[in-house]
Amino acid sequence: MTFIILINYNGYADTLECVNSIFENENSEYRIIIVDNGSNSNDVEQLLKLETTTNKVKVIVQENLGFSGGNNVGIKYALEHGADYICLLNNDTTVEKNFLSELINVFKLCSNVGAVCPIIYDYYDKDNITYMGGYINYKNGRTCIYGMDIDLSGRSMELQKTDFATGCCLLMPHDAIEQVGLLCEDYFLYYEDSDYSLKIREKYDIYLQPKAKIYHKESVSTGNMSDLKNYYLARNRLFFIKNSFVGVQKVKALVVAMLSNIKNSIKNRNSVYLIGTLDFFRKKIGRR
C-alpha cells in the first residue's frame, strides 16, 4: 500500500483537483492523507466532507507546521498504518494515470533505491519541463534544477540517477524512511528537500523516472517570488550550508550566500533578504 501525502493550506480547490487526478490512477493500492496546515474553517469543512465520501482519503487537521512539519505528521501516520511506500506530493499538482505505477516500478528495476521522483511539467504550459533532476552547488549552497535553472539540452529521457529529490513529488519505501528519518522541521519552508536529499544519498541512490509525469502550479501557496518565499530562501540557504557543508567549503559558501542576500536586497530594494540573513545569525528556525 502506498500512502500519498498532500499538505493543504487554504488551497482546497487545488487539493481537490489533485485528489481527483489521483483517483484516475491505474494503481488502486493507495490511500491519500491530506494534512491541513491551519487553513480557514471553510477549507477544513470542505476537506472533512471529502473524507466522508471515500475510504481512500484521510484528513488530519492541525496548526501550521510548515512543509516539513506537515509532511512529518503524514509520514508518521502512514508508517503507523502499514505503508509500503510513502509519496510526498504537492497539493497544487495533477498526475498522469501511470505516475504511481512507474515510480514503484523503479524499485523492481534497480537496487539500493532510496527515493524516486517523476519528471515535472508546468501545469499551465504542459510542454515546459520544470524538474528533470538536479544537484547541489557546493560553491553557493543553491539547488540547481534541470529545467528550471539549467537547460535541458542533451538530457536523457531514460531512467537515471539524480542528486536532488524535489519535495514537490518523491516516493520512498518504508525501509528507507526508517533509515533516513523525517524531514528537518527547522526549515519550515524551502531547502528541506535539499537537506533530505543529502541524507538519503548517505545510504541510498535517488532516481528520476521520466516515464512518471506530473504537472505543477509553481508557488501557489506562497506566491511566486513573494516576500514570504524570498525570506525563507534567503535564511534557509544559510542554515542548509551550515548544517550540511564542512570545513573551508562551508565558510566559502556561507560568504557567497550572504553576499548574494545583500546584493538581492539592494537590487530589489527589499530588506526581506537581510532580515532572513539576520535571523540566521539570531538562530531563528522554523516559522517566521
User: Same domain, yes or no, for 69 and 146?
Assistant: yes
User: Same domain, yes or no, for 256 and 210?
Assistant: no
User: Same domain, yes or no, for 153 and 106?
Assistant: yes
Alpha-carbon span 144 to 150, nearest angstrom: 7
Dihedral class, residue 247 (left if φ above 0, else alpha if ψ from -120 to 50, else beta)? left
Q: Is residue 134 part of a domain?
A: yes
User: Same domain, yes or no, for 136 and 241?
Assistant: no
Query: What is residue 183's DSSP assignment?
Result: P
State pLDDT tens for residues 111-163: 999 999 999 999 999 999 999 999 999 999 999 999 999 999 889 999 999 99
User: Same domain, yes or no, for 46 and 155?
Assistant: yes
Whether 166 shows a pLDDT value over 70: the answer reads yes
Helix (H) or strand (E) holding 235: helix 227-244
User: Same domain, yes or no, for 102 and 201?
Assistant: yes
Q: What is the pLDDT, as a whole number, of residue 247?
A: 97
- Of 167, 190, 216, the position where a domain reaches its end is 216
Domain that residue 237 falls in: 227-281
Alpha-carbon span 22 to 5, nearest angstrom: 11
Whether 224 shows a pLDDT value over 90: the answer reads no
User: Same domain, yes or no, for 174 and 254?
Assistant: no
User: Same domain, yes or no, for 197 and 232?
Assistant: no
Q: What is the pLDDT, as a whole number, of residue 181?
A: 97
Q: Is residue 288 part of a domain?
A: no
**Cβ pair 144, 237 in contact under 8 A:** no
Q: How confident is the model at residue 218 (pLDDT cuts 50, 70, 90)?
A: confident
Q: Is residue 108 part of a domain?
A: yes
What are the φ/ψ torsions at residue 38 (nearest 5 degrees)?
75, 35
Q: How many beta carbons lie within 10 A of that of residue 187, not counting itself?
A: 25
Q: What is the pLDDT, as a whole number, of residue 219?
A: 61
Once rounded to an integer, what is the mean pLDDT over residues 10-19?
A: 97
Once rounded to an integer, what is the mean pLDDT over residues 43-58?
A: 96
Q: Is residue 158 part of a domain?
A: yes
Please name the amino acid found at residue 51: E
User: Same domain, yes or no, for 155 and 237?
Assistant: no
Share of the chain above pLDDT 90, in %: 94
Q: Is residue 8 part of a domain?
A: yes
Q: What is the pLDDT, as a whole number, of residue 154?
A: 84
User: Same domain, yes or no, for 247 and 161?
Assistant: no
User: Same domain, yes or no, for 266 and 148?
Assistant: no
Minimum mean pLDDT among 9-13, 160-164, 224-228, 276-280: which range? 224-228
Q: Is residue 221 part of a domain?
A: no
Round the average pLDDT of the chain to a whole number and report it: 95
- Of 216, 247, 264, the position where a domain reaches its end is 216
What are the φ/ψ torsions at residue 137 (nearest 5 degrees)?
-90, 110
Read off the pTM.
Answer: 0.95
227-244 and 247-268 helices, crossing angle to 10°: 170
Q: Is residue 222 part of a domain?
A: no
Q: How confident is the model at residue 221 (pLDDT cuts 50, 70, 90)?
A: low
The CATH number that applies at residue 85 is 3.90.550.60
Partners of 13 in the beta sheet? none
Alpha-helical (H) ranges within 171-226 are: 174-180, 192-201
What is the b/e burial string over 81-91, where b = at least 16 CB atoms within 10 angstroms of the residue's CB? Answer: eebebbbbbbb
User: Same domain, yes or no, for 209 and 251?
Assistant: no
SS (H, E, C) 6-37: EEECCCHHHHHHHHHHHHCCCCCCEEEEEEEE
- Of 216, 249, 273, the position where a domain reaches its end is 216
Sequential DSSP letters for 44-109: HHHHHHHHHH-TTEEEEEES--HHHHHHHHHHHHHHHTT-SEEEEE-TTEEE-TTHHHHHHHHHHH
Q: Is residue 148 part of a domain?
A: yes
Q: Name the domain count of the chain.
A: 2
State pLDDT tens for residues 63-110: 999 999 999 999 999 999 999 999 999 999 999 999 999 999 999 999
